[in-house]
């Protein structure tokens, strides 16, 4: 009876100016009081704790080369809700990175007195020879 139950792994990927969703189907193998054991169509088996269903996780922990990714496991009727959550999560990550980069830029401009046109003004650049 549980063999027909399907879970969906919804993945949102942002690569520079390309955003896409990927949805993989997983089949239920075993259900216990605490977790599901599910199997991907390609053979991988995974244990998902029941409280983690519909929970969005950041798959990328560091921003690199313009790539960010989030994912969640859910049932079919929750796919749209999870996709909306992934969009919000990725937008929040981008906003955080943008804020951090803006702070870094301001600190560089303040510390090294860079003018708006990119040229150096008089500054007190100190070179440390010991690391």
Tell me the percentage of the chain whose pLDDT exceeds 90.
66
26: exposed, middle or buried (C-beta count within 10 Å: 0-12, 13-18, 19+)?
buried
Average pLDDT of the segment spanning 8-26: 95
pLDDT of res. 22: 97
Find, among 117, 123, 92, 74, the residue nearest to 14 by Cα: 92
Q: For the chain, how many structural domains are there in total?
A: 1
Decide if 74 is inside a domain.
yes
Average pLDDT of the segment spanning 99-109: 88
Decide if 40 is inside a domain.
yes
Domain of residue 70 covers 2-112
Backbone angles phi, psi at 118, to 5 degrees: 90, 0
Decide if 126 is inside a domain.
no
CA distance 21 to 105: 32
Decide if 59 is inside a domain.
yes
Decide if 128 is inside a domain.
no
Write out pLDDT tens, residues 29-82: 999 999 999 999 888 899 999 999 999 999 988 888 889 999 999 999 999 999
Residue 68, C-beta contacts closer than 8 angstroms, at least 6 positions apart = 13, 14, 58, 60, 90, 93, 94
The pLDDT of residue 107 is above 90: no
Decide if 57 is inside a domain.
yes
């Amino acid at each position: 009876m549980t063999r027909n139950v399907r879970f969906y792994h919804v993945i949102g990927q942002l690569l520079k100016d390309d955003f896409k969703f990927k949805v993989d189907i997983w089949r239920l193998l075993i259900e216990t009081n605490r977790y599901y054991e599910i199997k991907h169509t390609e053979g991988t088996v995974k244990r998902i704790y029941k409280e983690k269903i519909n929970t969005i996780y950041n798959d990328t922990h560091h921003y690199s080369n313009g790539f960010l990714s989030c994912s969640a496991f859910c049932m079919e009727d929750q796919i749209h809700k999870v996709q909306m959550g992934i969009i919000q999560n990725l937008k929040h990550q981008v906003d955080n990175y943008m804020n951090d980069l803006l702070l870094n830029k301001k600190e560089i401009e303040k510390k090294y007195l860079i003018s708006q046109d990119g040229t150096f003004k008089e500054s007190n650049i100190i070179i440390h020879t010991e690391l």
